Amino acid sequence: MALLQQLGDPIETIYYLEHPPQRNELEELLLKLGMRPSALIRQGEAIYQELSLAGRSEDDLLQAMLDHPILIERPVVVVGQRAIIGRPPESVRDWLSRVS
């Protein structure tokens, strides 16, 4: 967030733990990221283990993220029709210089 604020462009912050995405929104985000659900899911979360999500289908993982938004990797930076996971912050700076 600090990096994006330093760049001076207006940003919109969506706290998806408080405002979980709808299925179509998450699918659109995955398209922008160029990722499958298995690449966006946080495997280190306790709920991932509790639900035994390892080896499950992409659709099962997508549904798990909808049911438990804490499983969605964050932060995600979106510019137009493209997106990137915001870690490490330096990669976001480099990426923004290419997409802006």
Listed residue (43, 33, 86) closest to 64, CA to CA: 43
Of the candidates 5, 13, 3, the one whose C-alpha atom is nearest the C-alpha of residue 76 is 13
Q: pLDDT tens for residues 4-52?
A: 666 666 666 778 899 999 999 999 999 999 999 999 999 999 999 999 9
* Alpha helix positions (H), the chain: 2-7, 23-33, 37-40, 46-50, 58-67, 89-99
- Going along the chain from its start, the domains and CATH numbers come out as 16-99 (3.40.30.10)
Q: Tally Cβ neighbours within 10 Å of residue 90.
A: 9
The string of pLDDT tens digits covering residues 49-94 is: 999 999 999 999 999 999 999 999 988 888 878 888 888 777 777 7
pTM: 0.82
